Amino acid sequence: MAIRLSGKKVAESVYERLGKEISQLSQAPKIIFIRVGEDPASQTYVNAKAKRCAELGAVSETLVYPENVQESELLTKINALNEDASVSGILVQLPLPSHLDKEKVLETISPNKDVDGLHSANLGKLLQGNPRFVPCTPAGVLEMLKHYNIPVSGKHVVVVGRSEIVGKPAALLMLMNHGTVTICHSRTANLAEVTRTAD
């Protein structure tokens, strides 16, 4: 029998746990959000994250740069945040304008403050089965499966997509949890047929 998985219900339980953990810390964690330009979706995402931080008792600050910001200015600021002991995490909201080198920007963030888990060092640790920070969407998928007591071990998991932010880390998390993984993408033949083979 199929069941509907409620992401909202899972999120509420995670937020409750996080709120308790944060309240027991001697100093609230501080996260810096960096947004470039005025993309409406990016504004919405960053505002929602900042609001959630406040509700959980964490501190956040949003730095907004104009669409035409020089890459050197952005990298200089990230390096300063890396050195700032009061900053726990740094998150650069994607996508970035085309004149900015996304990889260079993400690689400038200290792996210890890369809460999005997109630095090559953090992706490498995930590949090794020893994750430090994991991209949020695949981490959320795994959290949902655990919440509903849906085992991954021994199951055939089909992941549709191979991006660094969702598909690849999702596949690695499923492997870490002993799933047998098939990755599908835009060049996969018979996509519908393959997805139907999944548990």
Choice among 113, 114, 116, 168 that is catalytic: 116
Dihedral (CA of 183, 185, 189, 192) sign:
positive
Is position 9 annotated as part of the catalytic site? no
Neighbouring C-beta atoms of residue 170, cutoff 10 Å: 26
116 is catalytic: yes
CA 44 to chain CA centroid, nearest Å: 16
Q: Would you call 49 a catalytic residue per the annotation?
A: yes
Query: Taking CA 191 as the corner, what is the angle to CA 151 and CA 3, rounded to the nearest 5 degrees?
Result: 35
Question: Which one of the listed residues 93, 113, 114, 168 is annotated catalytic?
Answer: 93
Angle ∠(162,163,166) on CA atoms, nearest 5: 95
Active site residue: 30, 49, 77, 125, which one?
49
Report yes or no: 58 and 29 within 8 Å, Cβ to Cβ.
yes
Active site members:
49, 93, 116
